Chains A and B, each alone.
Chain A
Amino acid sequence: MTDAPRTLLALMLVGTGCYKGSASDGSEADTEGTGADGTAGTSGGTPEAPELGGVGMMGMRRLSTDEYDNTLFDLIGDDTRPGSALIPEDVADPYDNAFANQIASRTLIEALEQLATESTARLMADAPRRDQVVGCQPTGPDDEACLTSFTAAFGRRALRRPLGDEEVGRFVALGAQYAAEENDFYAGVAVIVRAFLQDPEFVYRVEIGTPTDEPGVSRLDDFEVATRLSYLLWGTTPDDALLDRAESGGLATPEDVRGAAQEMLDDPRALARIDRFHSMWLGYYRLPHAPELTDAMRTETRMLIDKTIMQDRGDWRTLFDATGTFVNDFLAGHYGLPSPGSDAFTWVEYGDSGRRGLLSHGSFLSVAGKFGDTSPTQRGKLIRKRLFCQEIPPPPPTVNVDEPPPTVSSPCKIDRYNMTQIDGCAQCHELLDPVGFGLENYDQQGRFRTTDNDLPECTIAGEGAIDGNTFSGPAGLSDLLRDEGLLDSCIVYQVYEFAMGHDVANDDERYVEDLVTSFAESNYRFDELVLNLVGDEAFLYRREEEV
């Protein structure tokens, strides 16, 4: 079961020569600080590395643009999501948080400074919000007690760990200088907020921990664990409750972490994060449609994820087996489904329409297009890469992938694509195109069609094939995914890569394979997958990246 993708791959390797496997392969120097020392479970000498191993490499991770905007909202209530306009676009490959792709540049530094300046200005212009962030009423411009209490509390939230007195003092000194110069307490607050928003420990999730008896492996402190948890489950900074839990030693054991995570999954931010993971996994985080249609498609998929993972706490594979979907009148009309008679998204059964689950959602069907239409090749590639976790090698050097399928005597797409099944192209196209042709009855907006666009003479058969199995439409492909057990381990690898910001490597193998097993044992509950991920001992450790 767990080896299904690789077994399949091995067979294909023999058959085609076109594929290769993918998955096989201290103490606080700032001496006055209280941050990294005194961590429960790690005091009293050198901690031991986890017995089972599986500690993956972890580098310093910059907040992705999405995480940055979430964090700014949670920290100071800025809901303008300004990061995406200024921070250089994150590389989505397919996840936007791989640390190897995060290279500092002048553009980044300028963006961080400007974002800090402008976000702070918005905060200062909004007195109720400002007062909430400051947390005390100053008696005057020189109220250093209020400035200090604000700095200590805000600093803990911004840097996700308590600050030492001397550290607080440095920020307070800066603030006091400007409060005095400008005779305005809040002028001091503003420079302090701006400084925190550009601090390296705000911009990056820095993990240091304590070295263990295994070279290169460190035990994280509880605040670092809280931060890992929070960005994985919520895509944002830990809240005060989570930081309190860390401070009181409540994240010291895998059981503690699992317990905390269980509570965190009930927060709406967990659904948003899980939704985002799925959208990056399958590539529908942006859609090429008008806003109303885009929003409707995203809502449809998010509600199915919510129902399956969060409400029913059921088998995650049901996402692909769902016999109905959430639509409103607008989206039902778009798909040609029975109208629910409401602007609100309402469950409608698919009946015998041939649709089933996420693979028949407009979100998924919109992703892989080319040449102004659906692309069976691109859809096949998307399905193999993301749903089956297969590595698709680049085309051979003698192939021009931007060449539209040749014009033949028949104008029909299937006949034109069949012409690519010759010569050097065939090896890969015969693995990709038949998969995509199985979904060809669904256009690039997810609508059912029986003929090629604008070509009534070209009837679409909608028959697909993959590795010796034939299927028809989303329902057929979903059955195949379920029967072959292909998704079961693939999704685990995907979640792990999203969580850790890098591809699975040898050091991660034990950890990931245990997750594959426990996922099956939990009857494929996604919430259990996440809890098992954070509840593994290896989650509390990091392996230093080799230079």
Chain B
Amino acid sequence: MAIRSLNRRTFLRGVGGVAIALPTLEIMLNRHGDALAGGAGPVPRRFFIGFHGQAMGGDGDPLRDLYRPDAFGPNYDLKAATMPLSNYGDVRPDVSIISNLRIPYNNSGPGSWNTEFHLGALPPLLCGVSNPDDSSTCRGPTADQVVAAAIGAGTTFESLQYQVQPSWYLTDSAPYGRDILSYRSDGAGGVVQVPGQTSPRAAYMALFTGFVPPDPSEAAEVARELARRRSILDLVDGNISRLMPRLGAADKIRMQRHFDEIRALEDRLAAIPPDATGECSMFADPGADPPIGGNNASAGGDGFDVNAGYSDEDTRARIFSDLIHMAFTCDLSRSVAMLYTMAQSHMNVNSFTGIPYDQHEVGHSVGTTEAVSQILAWQLDQFAYLVAKLRDTPEGAASVLDNTAMVLLYEGGHGLDPATGDENRTHSTENMIVTVAGRAGGFVSGQHIDGNGMHPVNVINSAMRAVGVDTDLGEVVGTLDGLI
């Protein structure tokens, strides 16, 4: 079995740009040993990209959003959608809001879509590649994968994908890519979907694999279990190898993909776990996942099941945030993509808005920017929670957040719907907003910045530069002025 060891060169290569010297970084010394021998070395940078399947306003509401601050610059004001930024000790100084962004439509320009919003506008946002036929899937890799390939080598998880909303929630249709946030290159000019982990518990088990508990007998059992898992996978791996030559061409491709993932798991089990000391620690098992809610075919009224179409995404997002915090703090991963809600999300938002509708229909049927802002606020609180956790985690003389660039994308803006020609619509990529956080590589925080009609991917490009990845995503070239 090929064991991918943590190697010094890949570790150092990944960390370009400005290095912050640290007197000691206990965790990394323990984990990477010789790599940081000498007491000082570069700190890893981390990249986070989040997605919320939500536009900024309600259909027909002339109020564009309750999100954009009134003035550009620092100390920006908060509105209904952004009020949660004052939580957790006020994360505003760590968060920048970029407004006045737009994705071109009617197939007019780099990274554009045509007219079918929910399917068509998503790929240009995620991968920066034009989507003339309004397909729902990306034709290029997404930022988390580009970053992972550049700076993730040597970490246990080159990238992590988490998915808060675990179900499409409708039984008479399927998501067709609206549940996918991450695409990686297949090495042959195409891309492969990378679906997110929907189980917080499974994510917990995977992330903390091999962590050594302080209690010696517990530690011994952990070591034994790791050995068992490796032996079992070794047998499974051998059985796949024996089966493979007997398969037809199409099955072989399918099985090879399965096999590659098994091998990757074996590599992760072989990786040296970090010591659970200092800021890096294994937190308590979150327990069983909240149950997955059922169909949410826009029922209301007296027989309405408040749990239809809701799987306690609130709790799920919290646990995933705690895991991302540790993935970054322990340097288990440097690139994370988190899908909060799917594009055209049919999650029931009743529990946190009191509106017994699915998320998608709040924008259309309820149709007020005020109602929509409650959904934005719910998710922004989750984002603020994660920002604060990273801010409050010291790393040398600074914090983990200071070495991180975070990008939060929304599915839509508010304005012209190119399908109908109507104004003040949710099916629009006019007046889009992207929110960012962190200070890696001179990423600018605490500002409301004018996007001047640029593409949201220009913001992503800036965040990639901030973590030392000098690459443009897809067809969209350059960074956003004032952000880095």
Which A residues are within 8 Å of any B CB, using their own CB? 26, 28-30, 59-60, 84-86, 88-89, 91-94, 99, 102-111, 113-114, 116-117, 170-171, 174, 177-178, 182, 191, 194-195, 198-201, 203-204, 206, 208, 283-291, 293-294, 334, 366-373, 375, 378, 382, 394, 397-400, 402-404, 444-445, 453, 544-547
Question: Are A171 and B235 touching (Cβ within 8 A)?
Answer: yes
Closest beta carbon of chain B to A389's beta carbon, Å: 15
Which B residues are within 8 Å of any A CB, using their own CB? 59, 114-118, 134, 161, 166-168, 171-172, 174-175, 192-199, 201-202, 205-206, 224, 228-229, 231-233, 235-236, 238-240, 242-243, 245-251, 253-255, 257-258, 261-262, 264-265, 288-289, 291-292, 294-301, 303-305, 308-309, 356-357, 360-361, 364-365, 367, 417, 419-420, 422, 425-427
Question: Are A89 and B167 touching (Cβ within 8 A)?
Answer: yes
Which of A294, A372, A546 is the one whose CB lies under 8 Å from B361?
A: A372
Task: List the B side residues contacting A191 at CB < 8 Å.
Answer: 228, 231-232
Closest beta carbon of chain B to A99's beta carbon, Å: 8
Residue of A nearest to B256 (CB): A104
Given known A-B contacts A195-B235, A294-B305, A398-B419, A286 and B294 have beta carbons under 8 A apart: yes
Residue of A nearest to B117 (CB): A400
Question: Are A289 and B308 touching (Cβ within 8 A)?
Answer: yes
Task: List the A side residues contacting B304 at CB < 8 Å.
Answer: 288-290
Question: Are A288 and B202 touching (Cβ within 8 A)?
Answer: no
* CA distance in complex: A182, B206 (Å): 25
21 A-B contacts (beta carbon < 8 Å) = A85-B291, A92-B174, A109-B258, A110-B265, A113-B229, A114-B202, A114-B205, A195-B236, A199-B236, A200-B240, A206-B251, A287-B294, A290-B303, A367-B172, A367-B297, A370-B297, A372-B356, A372-B361, A398-B420, A453-B301, A545-B250
Which of B171, B250, B261, B357 is the one whose CB lies under 8 Å from A286?
A: B171
* CA distance in complex: A41, B246 (Å): 21
Question: Are A104 and B309 touching (Cβ within 8 A)?
Answer: no
* CA distance in complex: A94, B171 (Å): 8
Beyond known contacts A201-B239, A288-B295, A288-B298: 4 more, CB 8 A cutoff: A102-B254, A103-B195, A106-B264, A289-B308
Question: Are A208 and B246 touching (Cβ within 8 A)?
Answer: yes
Question: Are A199 and B202 touching (Cβ within 8 A)?
Answer: no
Residue picked from B194, B288, B289, B298, most chain A C-beta under 10 Å:
B298
* CA distance in complex: A94, B168 (Å): 13
* CA distance in complex: A382, B172 (Å): 8
Task: List the A side residues contacting B264 at CB < 8 Å.
Answer: 106, 109
Closest beta carbon of chain B to A277's beta carbon, Å: 14
Given known A-B contacts A177-B231, A286-B295, A370-B361, A397 and B254 have beta carbons under 8 A apart: no
Closest beta carbon of chain A to B369's beta carbon, Å: 16
Residue picked from A116, A402, A404, most chain B C-beta under 10 Å:
A402
Task: List the A side residues contacting B245 at CB < 8 Å.
Answer: 29
Nearest first, the 6 A-B pairs at minimum CB distance are: A286-B295, A545-B250, A288-B299, A104-B258, A286-B294, A283-B172
Question: Are A84 and B420 touching (Cβ within 8 A)?
Answer: no
Given known A-B contacts A88-B195, A198-B233, A372 and B250 have beta carbons under 8 A apart: no
Given known A-B contacts A191-B231, A200-B255, A289-B308, A544 and B250 have beta carbons under 8 A apart: yes
Question: Are A445 and B261 touching (Cβ within 8 A)?
Answer: no
Task: List the B side residues contacting A289 at CB < 8 Å.
Answer: 299, 303-305, 308
* CA distance in complex: A62, B3 (Å): 28
Residue of B nearest to A547 (CB): B249
* CA distance in complex: A203, B115 (Å): 41
Question: Are B297 and A369 touching (Cβ within 8 A)?
Answer: yes
Task: List the B side residues contacting A208 at CB < 8 Å.
Answer: 246-247
Given known A-B contacts A107-B198, A289-B305, A368-B172, A444 and B262 have beta carbons under 8 A apart: no
* CA distance in complex: A109, B195 (Å): 12
Question: Are A29 and B246 touching (Cβ within 8 A)?
Answer: yes
Task: List the B side residues contacting A30 at CB < 8 Å.
Answer: 242
Given known A-B contacts A29-B242, A294-B294, A398-B419, A288 and B309 have beta carbons under 8 A apart: yes
Residue of B nearest to A187 (CB): B228
Closest beta carbon of chain A to B151's beta carbon, Å: 19
Which of A60, A111, A382, A397 is the one whose CB lies under 8 Å from B199?
A: A111
Question: Are B305 and A84 touching (Cβ within 8 A)?
Answer: no
Question: Are B303 and A397 touching (Cβ within 8 A)?
Answer: no
Residue picked from A105, A284, A453, most chain B C-beta under 10 Å:
A105
Closest beta carbon of chain A to B204's beta carbon, Å: 10
